[in-house]
Structures are given as C-alpha cells and as structure tokens.
Amino acid sequence: MTSSAYRNSGLLGATARMLIDGPPKKGSAAHTPGPWRYDRTNGSPTTGHHMIAGAKPGYLAEVRDCGSGDVAANARLISAAPDLLDALVAILAACAHTLSGTDAKQKASAAIAKATGQ
C-alpha cells in the first residue's frame, strides 16, 4: 500500500499523518486560532469572572467553579491549549525517531488526537 493510500485508508492516527504530511499549517485547525488568553473580568449577570478570549473580540468560553479545583488555574490551562497543541505537534515532528515506541510518544499522540478529534 502506498503512503497516500495508507493515509486515506483511515488506518493512520493523527501523529502518523502529521509525520507523513508535516505539521498542520497555520490556520488549518478546526478550533478557534490562538493565541487565547485568560481574561479575569469584573463579572455581570451575563458574563462570568473567568473568561477565555481569542485573538478576535469576544469570548470563547467561561470557566465556572464547580467545586473541583482552582478556577483561575483551570482558566490558565484552557487558555494555553492552542499553544500547547502547537508545541506538542512540533516536538513530535522534530523528535519522531528519538521518541519512537516510547510512552511519551503514545501520550503525546493521544493528547493530539484528543485535541483534534481524531
């Protein structure tokens, strides 16, 4: 099977496709492009205190306290998601042979798949 046929067969995971095709091009992600930022607002009845904002005006998400952790820490982690995804894809592309067969590569591939819906 050629690499093209294999790629189109659905047998490749996101990381393998990335290694064959190269990292995703800027702007090719389905999610709202980064950078995202954590915006601690004053809050109102219609907006919360812990907001995630994108590069364009407006908010992407509101992080609420459900009693399971530090809301500000959760908001900072969420706002870093696009940067973390880009960094992880770049690391796997640069270190594919070094990481081959390692637990780190499996975890990174699973995280990329989770973030991209693969």
Q: What is the DSSP string of 90-117?
A: HHHHHTHHHHTT-HHHHHHHHHHHHHHT
In a domain, 48, yes or no: yes
Q: What is the mean pLDDT of residues 102-113?
A: 93
pTM over 0.85: no
Locate 96 and state its tokens. Answer: 């594919």
Claim to verify: residue 41 and residue 53 sit in the same structural domain: yes
Q: What is the mean pLDDT of residues 61-84?
A: 88
Locate 83 and state its tokens. Answer: 């940067």
In a domain, 50, yes or no: yes
In a domain, 1, yes or no: no
Report whether the peptide linkage leading into residue 33 is cis, meaning its omega lies within 30 degrees of zero.
Answer: no
pLDDT at 2: 42
**Final residue in a domain of this structure, among 63, 79, 95:** 79
Q: What is the mean pLDDT of residues 66-81?
A: 88
State how many domains the chain has. Answer: 2
Q: 44: domain range?
A: 37-79
Claim to verify: residue 100 and residue 67 sit in the same structural domain: no
